[in-house]
A = this chain, B = another copy of it.
Amino acid sequence: MTNHKIALIPGDGIGVDVTDAAMEIATAAARRFGFTLATETFPWSCDHYLATGRMMPEDGIETLRGFDAIYLGAVGWPATVPDSVSLHGLLLPIRKAFAQYANIRPHRLLKGVEGPLKSEGFDILCIRENTEGEYSGAGGRVHQGTPGEVAIQTSVFTRMGVERILRFGFEQARARRGHLTSVTKSNAQQYSMVFWDEVTREVAADYPDVTVEPMHIDAMAARMVMAPESLDVIVASNLFGDILTDLGAAIQGGLGFAASANINPDRSAPSMFEPVHGSAPDIAGKDIANPIAAIWSAAMMLDHLGEAEAAAAILAAIEAATAQGIGTRPGSHSTSAITQTVKAALEA
Interface residues of A (CB under 8 A from B): 76, 82-84, 86-88, 92, 116-119, 134-135, 137-141, 143, 146-160, 185-196, 217-219, 221-223, 225-226, 238-239, 242-247, 249-251, 254-255, 278
Q: How many copies does the complex hold?
A: 2
Contacts of A150 in B (CB 8 A): 156-159
Contacts of A139 in B (CB 8 A): 154-155, 189-192
Contacts of A193 in B (CB 8 A): 84, 153
Contact B116 A242 (CB under 8 A): no
Docked complex Cα distance between A278 and B185 (Å): 14
Contacts of A196 in B (CB 8 A): 151
Do A152 and B154 form a contact, CB below 8 Å, given A84-B186, A141-B195? yes
Do A191 and B141 form a contact, CB below 8 Å, given A150-B157, A221-B250? yes
Contact B152 A239 (CB under 8 A): no
Contact A76 B187 (CB under 8 A): yes
> Can you list 9 residue pairs at the A/B interface with Cβ under 8 Å?
A117-B118, A134-B188, A141-B195, A150-B158, A153-B157, A188-B242, A219-B246, A221-B247, A223-B250
Do A218 and B243 form a contact, CB below 8 Å, given A150-B157, A152-B154, A154-B155? yes
Do A151 and B147 form a contact, CB below 8 Å, given A76-B187, A222-B247? no
Docked complex Cα distance between A152 and B189 (Å): 10
Q: Closest residue to A76 on the B side, CB-wise? A: B187
Contacts of A190 in B (CB 8 A): 84, 88, 137, 139, 153
Docked complex Cα distance between A194 and B119 (Å): 37
Contact A151 B195 (CB under 8 A): yes
Q: How far is the CB of A217 from chain B (nearest CB, A)?
A: 6
Contacts of A141 in B (CB 8 A): 191, 195
List 8 A-B pairs, minimum CB-CB distance, nearest first: A83-B187, A218-B246, A153-B192, A151-B195, A222-B250, A139-B191, A225-B250, A149-B159
- Selected from B84, B135, B147, the residue in CB contact (under 8 A) with A194 is B84
Contacts of A221 in B (CB 8 A): 221, 243-244, 246-247, 250
